Amino acid sequence: MGRRAVALSVIGLLALGLVYLGWSGHARLPGTARVLLGGLAGVALLAVVALGGMARWVNRRGGFGVAASAVLRSVAAVGVGFGGWFLAVLVVAALWPALLAGWGPATVGAGIAAGLCVFLAWVRRDAAPGVRYGGLAAALAWGLAGAWLGGHALGGLAGSVTAILGAVLAANAAVLLLDVARARSRALPPRSGPAM
């Protein structure tokens, strides 16, 4: 993610915040709501910047080491999951306020953000394209499925938190299964066909 994409993300988040905060003159929010909304936008922006920085690191240096990958796939993925949740809430609040009543924004936002974070912490630049694209698809799909299952584990605000944790756990399980499958296929000798 280049500087231009980060700048456009920042401008978009600020514009969303300005429209939602009512600084256009149509409505005014109390000070507490402005602080809360600023915090949500700040965490969402940090998540976008973190994912952009991770993508840049993988592009320039080839990937993360073992320890850094483990920390990013566990601790940082939870923080980025919260950022994805907050970004989804901000976008939905600005465009479709009626959808905020459900847990859908938390599930989609957390699942995509956590899956992408886990994928970027796992991927190596020198991996084959099939491995990279398969890892991305698996991390995103399993992250969304884990967020959906986690969102159904508990109700209310706790359901959103368990959606984030479920997304992180499922995305990590997906890339671990891919690693096990690749290691297993390398260890097996090639099969010879029947003699003709």
Are 117 and 54 contacting, i.e. CB atoms less than 8 angstroms apart? yes
Q: CB burial class (10 A; 0-12, 13-18, 19+) of residue 87? A: buried
Cα 139 to chain centroid distance, Å, stands at 9
| Residues 150-169, mean pLDDT to the nearest whole number | 86
What's the Rg (C-alpha) of the chain? 20
Q: Which two tokens stand for residue 58?
A: 């993988």
Query: Helices then strands (H, E): number in the chain?
Result: 7, 0
- pLDDT confidence of residue 151: 85
Write the CB contacts of 192 (distance below 8 Å, at least 6 apart in sequence): none
Least trusted range by pLDDT, from 2-16, 31-45, 90-104, 125-139: 2-16
Instruction: Convert the pLDDT of each residue in 61-102 to its tens digit.
Output: 988 888 988 998 889 999 999 999 888 888 888 887 776 666
- pLDDT confidence of residue 171: 94
Does the CA dihedral 53-139-152-72 come out positive or negative? Answer: negative
- pLDDT confidence of residue 93: 80
**Average pLDDT value over all residues in the chain:** 81
Q: Which of 117, 122, 131 is nearest to 168 (CA)?
A: 117
Are 148 and 140 contacting, i.e. CB atoms less than 8 angstroms apart? no
- pLDDT confidence of residue 83: 92
Ordered by start, the domain boundaries in the chain are 3-187
Q: Which two tokens stand for residue 129?
A: 């394209």
Are 50 and 78 contacting, i.e. CB atoms less than 8 angstroms apart? no
Q: Which two tokens stand for residue 177?
A: 């299964």
Does residue 15 have a pLDDT over 70? Answer: no
For residues 52 and 72, what is the distance between their CA atoms, to the nearest angstrom? Answer: 14
Instruction: Convert the pLDDT of each residue in 98-157 to its tens digit.
Output: 766 666 777 888 899 999 999 999 998 888 888 889 999 999 999 999 999 988 888 777
- pLDDT confidence of residue 144: 92
**Residue entry with tokens 């297993």:** 184
- pLDDT confidence of residue 63: 87
Prediction pTM value: 0.77
- pLDDT confidence of residue 173: 94
For residues 172 and 189, what is the distance between their CA atoms, to the nearest angstrom? Answer: 28
| Residues 18-32, mean pLDDT to the nearest whole number | 57
Does residue 177 have a pLDDT over 80? Answer: yes
Q: CB burial class (10 A; 0-12, 13-18, 19+) of residue 71? A: middle
Does residue 9 have a pLDDT over 70? Answer: no
**Residue entry with tokens 């500087």:** 3
- pLDDT confidence of residue 188: 67
